[in-house]
Amino acid sequence: MKLKKKDNSTDVYRWVCRHNSHRGKKTTKTVRSGSVFEKSRCSLLSWMNFFYRFSQGLRMRQVDMKTDGIAKSSATLSKMSSCVRRVCRHAMRRYENKAGKHLGGETEFVVIDESNFRHKRK
């Protein structure tokens, strides 16, 4: 498969395969296929901006994200947030299974410091 530039699509690039096993027809796949972004209609740039804000702990208010142009509606932002949370949950489960380390338990409490989530930008 080769990565080809396609100007009329939202993602600009597509995977193209012209192998003989396809009976002379070329098959194409988007860059998103098989990933978290497969069913999303938002651009990959807006997803990257959302991931950046999420990972840096910046303000996640929907009003700010609408004005910055990450998404046009609050429903879209809610779906993006739930998708990122689902990915984080899956990664934590994989880490727990791989390393054998667990967060919390029946006799242990996990305390999250609120100062990490409610800080103001300077």
Would you say residue 119 lies in a domain?
Answer: no
Half-sphere exposure at residue 1, Cβ-oriented, CA atoms within 13 angstroms: 11
DSSP 18-45: --GGGTT--EEEETTTTSTTTT--S-HH
Say if residue 102 is in the same domain as residue 43: yes
Residue 86 domain boundaries:
38-106
Both 69 and 51 in one domain: the answer is: yes
The upper half-sphere exposure of residue 17, i.e. CA atoms within 13 Å in the direction of its Cβ, equals 10
Residue 116 lies in a domain: no
Pick the closest to residue 72 from 100, 93, 43, 103 (CA basis).
Answer: 43
The answer to whether residue 102 is domain-embedded is yes
The 10s digit of each residue's pLDDT in 70-105 is 777 778 888 888 888 888 888 888 888 888 877 777
Q: What is the pLDDT of residues 25-64, one digit of tens each?
A: 888 888 888 888 888 888 888 888 888 887 777 666 766 7
Classify residue 113: in a domain, yes or no.
Answer: no
Same domain, 96 and 46: yes
The side-by-side arrangement of strands in the sheet containing 13-17 is: 2-5, 13-17, 27-30
Same domain, 12 and 62: no
**How many structural domains is the chain composed of?**
2
Tell me the percentage of the chain whose pLDDT exceeds 70: 84
| In a shared domain, residues 52 and 101 | yes
Q: Does residue 88 share a domain with residue 54? A: yes
